[in-house]
Amino acid sequence: MIRYISARLLATVPVVFGVTIAVFSMLYLIPGDPVKMMLSEFQTSPEQIARMRAQLHLNDPFFVQYGRFVWNGLHGNLGTSIRDNRPVTQEIFEVFPQTVQLAVAALVLASALGLALGILAALRQNSWLDIGSMMVATLGISMPSFWLALILILIFSLHFELLPAAGGGDLPHLIMPAVALGLGAAAIIARLTRSSMLDILRTEFVTTARAKGLRGRTVVLRHALHNALIPTITIFGLQFATLLTGTVFIETVFGRPGLGRLVVEAILNKDFPLVQGSVLIFALAYVVVNLVVDIVYAVVDPRIRYQ
Amino acid sequence: MGVARRAGVGAGIVLLAVALASVGAVTAAPSGATLTVGLDQEPPTLDPEASPSAVTFQIIPDVTESLLYQGLDGKILPWLASAYKISADGKSFTFTLRPDAKFTDGTPVNAEAVKWNFDRVVNPNYKAGGSLSALSGYAGSTVVDDHTVRVDFKAPFAPFLSYAAGGTLALVSPKATQAQGNEVNLKPVGSGQYVVSEYVPKDHITLTRNADYNRKAPWSDHQGPANLNTIIWKFIPEAGTRVTTVESGETQMISGLSLPSATLSHIATERTLRIDRNPYPGAPRIWVLNVRMAPTNDLKVRQAINYGINRAAITDSVFKGLGTTACAPLTQQTLKTPALCNAYPYDPKKAAQLLDEDGWKMGPNNVRQKDGKPLTLTINSINYGSGNLPEIELLQGQLLALGIDARIKSQARPPWYEDNYHCATNGPVLFLRSTDPDGLFALFDSANIGGNFNWACYSNPELDKMLQAGRETYDPAKRSAIYRQIEKLLVDQAITVPLVDEYSVWVVRSNVTGTKYNFSGYPILTDVKIGK
């Protein structure tokens, strides 16, 4: 197991390296002079531009600059925001917990709803419950989250005046964003759980378990579900990453503080250090989540770690 | 079966939890003590001297104060300065400060503080925002005595009075600012009726009443502190969400920026809401024509475009309720020029005639051509993430009707700026908020080609002289005459296509009274009361 985990950890190194190169190169891939663009709204003198260039070390060779970026990054220094002169790490970590909170809430909702619907549908295949829940799931997959968000706002904020439409911080502000974000993922998890459960329920070991006279609950929970969850876990990981990036839309629609909104506004404000820092954190979160999924996968399914 | 039931119960619990949680979350009714205002975006900084953004100046008038005040009628009134005197050569301004004004950290607003603030703006190590052009040609300040300060310029600088009344030159406490470092971007310490008590990035800013305020602000109906205990500025970028919050009462006032005009018409029918509209000063929403690039380097083409664009149609469609048809490079609020409103009446026949005379004959696909070359041009279009601005698409359609194939170069803000600096398209659509006609200096002085904002790339020594004369002339009548002359030259040369004189638009719940607006069209909320 330790060998497996070490191998997975090692495999993330080139990925992280690639991510940092890609994030760092952004500054060079965008046409035009980055300093002039960053200062475009300000009245600037050539001296100010030169000073900014020096401050960002833009006159150094590419790899020297990249090395500095990585070195500083390892020391928790991702530079200073152009717009408000505050440290990028501070700006990110002020809002990152809110994004994680939203993504986790959406995932919990998606898992509970998705698993419950999926298992129910599989156990009662071809019943009205199965057809109904899969129709709901198809609808859930088809609905864009930002559209659903606006519909939820219209119903629960404007019509019933039950939930606040904008802002963050407490539970009432979390409900609609989590539902808007999580419903699509719930639909995907439901469909996958259903098909996976159906496959497992048809296998011989389930028949054997039933033939041994085990109770229905034991057969489903201890034998079938355990195995049916294996492909679903991969989806959990991927969905969590999708949810994390989905916050870009949801946080904007609901006016919630978070990394998604931070990155959108940083892009619109051409705040390169902030864009680099936020994208890096998103990418690292993606890598970490996938690593965790790989490890959980190995724990649940011993066959994986023996391969 | 047992399992199926349990799973069903599980799903039920989730839904129930959602339902239960929602019960406790009933939106609070408007409180008599707190006003929540929905803004379209977060300011880049609250430091007035550092900000290049209008968003800052919508929030800051309640927190910081300026030497002078300019109300909606344009009149300059005393504020922190009780009087001012301009030297005979027009280069020096001597301000007499009120003896009773204090910053909210307890330090006095004295001559030393004014000098410190203005010196800070021009300090090359400080990244000043709009304040820097408000102090163009600043030669230094002199502390005459504790309550008298003289501000000197290298040349006469008539717009300074208006700029000294604007938000960009609002004063912050030297002591607090030096102590707080970068925190000044979040919680600047001014002398106004509110203090910034909380700043939650990407969420909201809370202003708390300064109970020690004992003066009468120039716009105010009363002496002493503001009416409301708290003002919360909430950042809600999505226009639809913002409207919902004011309709439901979650906010009591929202910025009308980027609201579709159809939404505004719908709001106008709601009894619980009202719309406050005030004209913005400065340059209207305007298509600046690049005079260095073909075909807009040709006067006849530029004039044909001016005759051929139906501005009224643009105002009546996408800007309905958001502005009036523009006439000239300055809004009518800034300088009334009725004669220029008739300079280019909508006349597609005249436009066609001008293009025909110029050799641009109608060719295949309804696109004109000369010497086998089609009449094409490129409009530089800023894309904030939701596609082209609607007025640019309307322009494109109207130009095609004239036989001009207009391409839209839709791009994010950074490359949009870059193309403007390099005169690389036939021009962008832009607007410029300026409280003084001197805003034209930034737009058309030849020194600003390749910088901010001479994006017509127009260089005319005669115009440069007139712009400088405008800066140096104090007599209001003579000054207006100079700017009328400048505008006439710009209109005769068809350097721009003026589109819409825009309004500053705020949607307010009907029970909120006492909202005031300064000359820039930004709200001042110290006199606000919230009724039942």
| Integer CA distances (angstroms), B450 to A33, A252, B307, B425, B463, in order | 13, 34, 29, 13, 17
Instruction: Please tell me if residue A101 touches chain B, with a CB cutoff of 8 Å.
Output: no
Residue A40 pLDDT class (50, 70, 90 cuts): low
Burial (CB count <10 Å: 0-12, 13-18, 19+), residue B195: buried
The confidence score (pLDDT) of residue B418 equals 81
DSSP string of B434-457?
-SSTTHHHHHH-GGGTTSSS-TT-
- Residue B92 parent element (H or E): strand B92-97
Instruction: Identify which of A43, A109, A162 has the shortest CB distance to residue B25.
Output: A162
Chain A residues touching residue B202 (CB < 8 angstroms): 95, 251, 256-258, 261-262, 265
Interface A-B: count of C-beta contacts within 8 A: 200
- Chain B contact present for A37, CB below 8 A: yes
Torsion of Cα atoms, A116 then A122 then A123 then A127, to 10°: 110
**pLDDT of amino acid B379:** 97
A139 or B380, which is more confident?
B380
Q: Find out whether B132 and B124 touch, Cβ atoms under 8 Å.
A: no
What is d(CA A22, CA A29) in angstroms, rounded to the nearest whole number?
Answer: 10
What pTM was computed for the model? 0.85
Query: How close A7 comes to chain B (CA, Å)?
Result: 37
Alpha helices (runs of H) in B146-259, residue ranges in sequence order: 160-164, 174-180, 239-248
Task: Determine the pLDDT at residue B385.
Answer: 64
pLDDT mean over B52-57: 88
SS (H, E, C) B46-72: CCCCCCCCHHHHHHHHHCCECCEEEEC
Residue A120 to residue B7, Cβ atoms within 8 A: yes
Q: Give the pLDDT confidence score for residue B9 in this predicted structure.
A: 33
**Is B480 a residue whose pLDDT tops 60?**
yes
CA–CA dist B42, B54 (Å, integer): 11
Contact residues for B403 (Cβ-Cβ < 8 A; gap 6+): B352, B355, B360, B362, B363, B366, B367, B368, B375
CA distance to partner chain A, nearest, from residue B270 (Å):
14
Note the pLDDT of residue A43. 63
- Measure in Å the smallest separation between the Cα of B346 and chain A Cα atoms: 34
Higher pLDDT, residue B503 or B4: B503
Average pLDDT of span A91-115 = 92
Looking at A145-159, A198-212, B504-518, which range is the least confident one? A198-212
Mean pLDDT value across residues B127-152: 94
List helix spans (H) across B198-238. Answer: none
Tell me what percent of the residues of chain A surpass a pLDDT of 90.
26
Chain B hits for A265, Cβ within 8 Å: 41-42, 202
Q: How much is the pLDDT for A46?
A: 74
Could you tell me which residues come within 8 angstroms of residue B472 by beta carbon, excluding any fewer than 6 positions away? B90, B155, B156, B157, B158
Residue B284 phi, psi dihedral angles, 5° rounding: -70, 180
* Upstream peptide bond of B295 is cis (omega within 30 degrees of 0): yes
Stretch (H or E) spanning A52: helix A46-55
Using pLDDT thresholds of 50, 70 and 90, give the confidence band for residue A219: confident
- Looking at residue B511, its pLDDT comes to 95
Q: Is the dihedral of CA B219, B221, B226, B230 positive or negative?
A: negative
Q: Which residues of B touch A124 (CB under 8 A)?
A: 4
More confident residue, A129 or B414: A129
Which segment, A71-85, A148-162, B27-41, is predicted with the most confidence on average?
A148-162
Closest C-alpha among B480, B485, B530, B491 to residue B509:
B530
Distances (CA, A) of A216 to A193, A210, A220: 18, 7, 6
What phi and psi values does residue A17 have, to the nearest 5 degrees?
Answer: -60, -45
Check if A120 contacts B (Cβ < 8 Å): yes
> Are A153 and B249 in contact (CB < 8 Å)?
no
**Average pLDDT for residues A141-156, to the nearest whole number?**
91
The total of other beta-carbon atoms located within 10 Å of residue A159's CB is 11
- Which is nearest to B527 in space by CA: B100, B251, B204, B193? B193
- The mean per-residue pLDDT over the stretch B32-53 comes to 89
Number of Cβ within a 10 Å radius of residue B89 = 10
Q: How many helices (H) and strands (E) does chain B have?
A: 17, 25
Q: Does A204 touch chain B (CB under 8 A)?
A: no
> Cα B396–B401–B404 angle (5° rounding)?
65
Alpha helix stretches (DSSP H) within B50-201: 54-59, 111-122, 131-134, 160-164, 174-180
Query: Model confidence over A270-288: pLDDT tens digits?
Result: 788 898 899 899 888 888 8
Distances (CA, A) of A101 to A140, A174, A175, B355: 22, 8, 11, 61
Reported as a pLDDT band with limits 50, 70 and 90, residue A156 is: very high
Q: How confident is the model at residue B131 (pLDDT cuts 50, 70, 90)?
A: very high
Strands, DSSP E only, in chain A?
none
Say what the alpha-carbon torsion angle B362, B365, B370, B375 is, to the nearest 10 degrees: 110
Please list every residue in chain A whose beta carbon sits closer than 8 Å to the beta carbon of residue B235: 255
* Sequential DSSP letters for B332-396: TTTS--HHHHTSS---HHHHHHHHHHTT-EE-GGG-EEETTEE-EEEEEEE--SS-S-HHHHHHH
To test the contact with chain A by mutation, choose from B3, B15, B254, B413 the residue with the greatest count of A C-beta atoms within 10 A, namely B3
Does A157 touch chain B if contact means CB atoms closer than 8 Å?
A: yes
Mean pLDDT is lowest, of A257-271, B296-310, B462-476, B485-499, for: A257-271
Tokens representing B264? 């505004």
Mean pLDDT of chain B: 91
Q: Which residue has the tokens 């559209």?
A: A147
- pLDDT 10s digits, B167-180: 999 999 999 999 99
> What is the DSSP code string of A238-298?
HHHHHHHHHHHHHHHHTT--SHHHHHHHHHHTT-HHHHHHHHHHHHHHHHHHHHHHHHHHH
ipTM at complex level: 0.80
Give me the mean pLDDT over the A133-147 stretch: 87
Specify the range with the lowest mean pLDDT, choosing from A124-133, B245-254, B452-461.
A124-133
Q: Check whether B321 has a pLDDT greater than 60.
A: yes
Going by pLDDT thresholds of 50, 70 and 90, the confidence category of residue B3 is very low
Q: Tokens at residue A120, please?
A: 């129910």
Is pLDDT of B292 > 60? Answer: yes
Omega before B453 cis (within 30°)?
A: yes
Task: Check residue B4 and give its pLDDT.
Answer: 37
Task: Please report the pLDDT score of residue A270 as a whole number.
Answer: 73
Q: Are B404 and B377 in contact (CB under 8 A)?
A: yes
Q: Calculate the dihedral angle through the C-alpha atoms of A204, A206, A210, A214, rounding to the nearest 10 degrees.
A: 140
- HSE-CB at B159 with a 13 A cutoff on CA atoms is 27
Average pLDDT estimate for A289-301: 84
pLDDT tens for residues B353-400?
999 999 999 999 999 999 999 999 999 998 766 667 889 999 999 999
- Distance, in Å, from the CA atom of A33 to the CA atom of B229, rounded to the nearest integer, reads 47
Facing residue for A253 by CB, picked from B200, B241, B452? B241
Q: Can you tell me the distance from the alpha carbon of A27 to that of A119, in angstroms, rounded to the nearest whole number? A: 48
Nearest to B414 among A32, A161, A261 (CB): A32
Distance CA B51, CA A230 (A): 53
Inter-chain CB proximity A40 and B415 less than 8 Å: no
Ramachandran bin of B281, using left for φ above 0, alpha for ψ from -120 to 50, beta for the remaining angles: beta
Place of tokens 């004369």: B469
